[in-house]
Amino acid sequence: MDLPIFPVADREHLFDARGIAKRFRHAAIFGALAALQPGEAMRFVNDHDPLPLLEQLREHYGEDLAVEYLEREPTRVVIRFTPRSGG
């Protein structure tokens, strides 16, 4: 697996979904987001644009989760998730 081309900041945790079985990915992502402490973010790497996941996150977190695409290619997507109210 290739590494993200953007450096990961001290308070930003890498979550590479490509190594997780697809049927467990959404639960693992929700768990990782819930574990973030105030001021932390998650750098999410995936092999496709996770539009159904993003909809689930929007429904669950609403405006309390910032979503920022850092890379958006057909076979590689990198997104920064930053909770606005501490995870």
Q: What is the per-residue pLDDT for 10? A: 75
pLDDT in tens for each of the 87 residues of the chain? 555 445 556 799 999 999 999 899 999 999 999 999 989 999 999 999 999 999 999 999 999 999 999 999 999 999 999 999 744
- What kind of fold does domain 12-83 have according to CATH? Translation Initiation Factor IF3 (3.30.110)
pLDDT tens for residues 47-56? 999 999 999 9
Q: Which of 84, 47, 82 is nearest to 67 (CA)?
A: 82
Q: How many whole angstroms separate alpha carbon 26 and alpha carbon 17?
A: 9
In the three-class reduction of DSSP (H, G, I as helix; E, B as strand; rest coil), residue 59 is classed as: helix
pTM: 0.85
Helix and strand numbers, DSSP H then E, in the chain: 2, 4
What distance in Å separates the CA atoms of residue 68 and residue 4, rounded to the nearest whole number? 15
Identity (one letter) of the amino acid at 51?
L
Return the domain boundaries, the chain: 12-83
Integer Cα distance of 39 and 16 in angstroms: 20
Strand positions, DSSP E, 8-52: 12-16, 41-46
